[in-house]
Amino acid sequence: LGLFTKSWSSDIRLDGKTAIVTGANTGIGKETVKDLAMRGARVILACRDLLKAEQAAGDISRDVENANVVVRKLDLADTRSICDFAELIYNTEKSLHLLINNAGVAMCPYSTTADGFETQFGVNHLGHFFLTFLLMDLLKHSAPSRVINVSLAHHMGKIHFEDLNSEKSYHPVKAYVQSKLANILFTRELAPRAEEMGVSVYAVDPGLVKTDIIRHLNKSLQFFVKTFGFLIKPPEEGAYTTLYCALTPDLPTGAYYSNCAMAPCSRAANDDNTASRLWAVSCHLLGIRWK
């Protein structure tokens, strides 16, 4: 058990509800799917690697009786794939009550997405921004519904408007924390727009969790993580705050949650000017109009 984790449970059922979890084949995402499936929800695992996703769905089906889980291909590093995914969802699903933007890449060497965005900014922020934009009508149609953006370590982040895509200089950690701060600013800006449609939006910090995301960390950091692993939550505890925001009734929208409670976020994350500027730039980069 993580040293400081507050244990959490809820007996809320989700029969007849549909959820999408991005990056659902491993770690926190997989645990989130498992919990939602146990509550009777139909859960769509939106993943880039279909083989791993099918394995994860198989594991969950073995653990959860009558689990209603399906796998759909989604590559957040490619806007075309995001469009195809959204189209398939509209063609196959009647409703969508929970969109959990959980996928993420962390501290990877410099690379770009299919559309030429720096990968961490492109996947962690723009990919989920675009996905949410495309699914908004279905979320609205299914209201009350919720969008949850998972964001770890935003406190060190700053939005580098003069170099969003790290073309002038790239630092893996700087790009990562920028993308995570972007998740919170997106939540902040989306909340008032979505609220009138019956859609609530939450930003969630899962805490330090033992997942595959550490694979790009350098050796000494990996050693630290393995040595002090007892301070680090297992994935099922990492999913607690996501589930708390997915299930708790009457939770204030637009806020940032950590350890199953509302939490303070950084000054940069509270800046409305930065939030609206990032929104405008994101729409411009993606070539969309989102009022």
Catalytic residues: 176
Closest of 217, 202, 189, 210 to residue 263, by C-alpha: 202
Q: Which residues pair with 112 in a beta bridge?
A: 118
Task: Please report, as a single letter, which amino acid is at residue 282.
Answer: S
Ramachandran region, residue 27 (left: φ > 0; alpha: ψ -120 to 50; beta: rest): left
**86, two tokens:** 């959204």
Cβ atoms within 10 Å of 73's Cβ, excluding its own = 15
Q: What are phi and psi of 71, to 5 degrees?
A: -110, 135
**206, two tokens:** 């899962």
